[in-house]
Amino acid sequence: MKRLQRGGEIFPQAIAIAFKKYRRDWLFSLCSVFSMAAFLVPLLTIFGLKDGIVGTLENRLLSDPRTLEITSIGHPNFRPEFFAGLAADPDVTYVVPDTRDISNFIHLEREGGAALRVASAPSSEGDPLVALAASGARPGDAGRPPGLREIYVSEPAAEALRLKAGDKVTGIVTRSVNGFIERARTEFTVLGVIPKQAVDSEAVLASLPMMRATELFRSGYGNAELGWEGRDPAEVPPGGPIYQRFRLYARDLDAVGRLQRRFQESGVMVSARTAEIQRVKTMDTAFSLVILTLLGVVGTGAFASAASGSVDQVAKNRKSLACLALLGLGRPHLLAFSSFQAALTGLLASLLAAGLFLATARILNYLFMGTLRNVESFCSLSWAKLGVASGAAVLFMIIASLTAYTALSDIEPSEGMRDV
């Protein structure tokens, strides 16, 4: 009987023998693969449902800038230093002061058409709504904050006035003085159109200096740069401008709740879509608990099944393994022999489970396609996550096979002498 070669070649030889043995016992190997796949498919499906449903809901929230928006309630007074502190907050991605409610309406008028009353809001560098209007902006204007005589218009306002990027439109601001209505006019250039899914009302975004000039005009002041008559703005009481509102966007979904709590603790009442966000977070937590429960129950059953299978295989092939030990395979090599077969079972089972999962996900997505948008899915897992699941299955099977180590360590080469 030829003894196996020593040195670095013995492990490859052990692996080669393990593969031949695995292929010869194909029926048992096939049953092991199907058994392990039966444990994996439900886990992959629940993971896919979590990623599909929760991921879709989170993407829907994040695709709407209003989800991350926080606005003040009431009529508090905010000094410039208040906004400097917010701008330095890591949970805040964008903030700009806003003027009083009464100042936030102007009329837009095109030549030969009726005037349209629209709400106005301030905008500055980094405005998320301006970024959404970039696709319809003229070259060079995409993402640029509006200047004193420039505005972004919402899609409903653009449709009502038939406006597009580059068009001119007249803005009209009114005030009442001693019972008489005075009007100030300025010509705006439209920089872009904000999609309806972001702003579904008739509105415009203007620069903060323009908003401030409008507020002062309604308080009786003029503006030399805009050609508006009134008292000299230099007569405005010192101490800097006082704002009563702001436009603020949180960095992510979790930051919305943190910011709202901090505002309330400081006595500032704000409005945010925390209820919608919390519903998605609750669903995510519920899925996570279900997954942990399944991992515990299914994992325990799978481990017990795989471990008992490994011990049983060692018991059935005890004499064959003793012969291999007689030929030069030590206990580490016998362990590699057993681990390789377990890893091969885990790999084949994970590939089978991935195929079954993809078929299941395709069926579920087809059944629920009426509730989904073009890029959404009801059940899905990325290829990276499927790869991680496959690696975890292989590692799981190898660990389960280590339970046979005690049985392997008891095998003596002399037990194979009867077969020599």
Instruction: Express each pLDDT in 185-225 by its tens digit.
Output: 999 999 989 988 888 899 999 999 999 999 999 888 999 99
Query: Which 3 state secondary structure label does DSSP give 73?
Result: coil
Cβ(270)–Cβ(264) below 8 Å: yes
Give the span between the Cα atoms of 157 and 162, in whole angstroms: 8
Q: How confident is the model at residue 93 (pLDDT cuts 50, 70, 90)?
A: very high
Give the span between the Cα atoms of 67 and 70, in whole angstroms: 8
Cβ(134)–Cβ(143) below 8 Å: yes
With 0-12 / 13-18 / 19 or more C-beta atoms within 10 angstroms meaning exposed / middle / buried, residue 215 is buried
pLDDT the model gives residue 89: 92
Partners of 190 in the β-ladder: 151
Segment 81-86 mean pLDDT:
90
Considering only CA atoms, which of 17, 49, 46, 44 is closest in space to residue 351?
Answer: 44
Partners of 193 in the β-ladder: 153
Instruction: Give the burial string for 132-168 (b: 16+ CB within 10 Å, else e).
Output: bbeebbeeebbebbbeebbbbbbbbbbebbebebeee
Count of beta carbons in the 10 Å neighbourhood of residue 92: 18
Percent of the chain with pLDDT over 70: 81
Cβ(270)–Cβ(70) below 8 Å: yes
pLDDT the model gives residue 267: 86
Mean pLDDT of the chain: 82
pTM greater than the 0.85 cutoff: no
Q: Is the pLDDT of residue 61 over 70?
A: yes
Q: Tell me which residue has tokens 């091969």.
A: 344
Percent of the chain with pLDDT over 90: 25
Please list the alpha-helical segments (H only) found in 112-207. Answer: 128-132, 155-161
The ranges assigned to domains in the chain are 7-62+279-419, 74-96+248-268, 100-242
Q: pLDDT, tens digit, for every residue of 329-360?
A: 555 666 666 777 788 888 999 999 999 999 99
Q: Is the pLDDT of residue 412 over 60?
A: no
Q: Is the pLDDT of residue 9 over 60?
A: no
Q: How confident is the model at residue 379 (pLDDT cuts 50, 70, 90)?
A: confident
Dihedral sign computed on CA atoms, order 70, 375, 142, 198: negative
The tokens for 75 are 């009529």
Segment 45-64 mean pLDDT:
86
With 0-12 / 13-18 / 19 or more C-beta atoms within 10 angstroms meaning exposed / middle / buried, residue 36 is buried
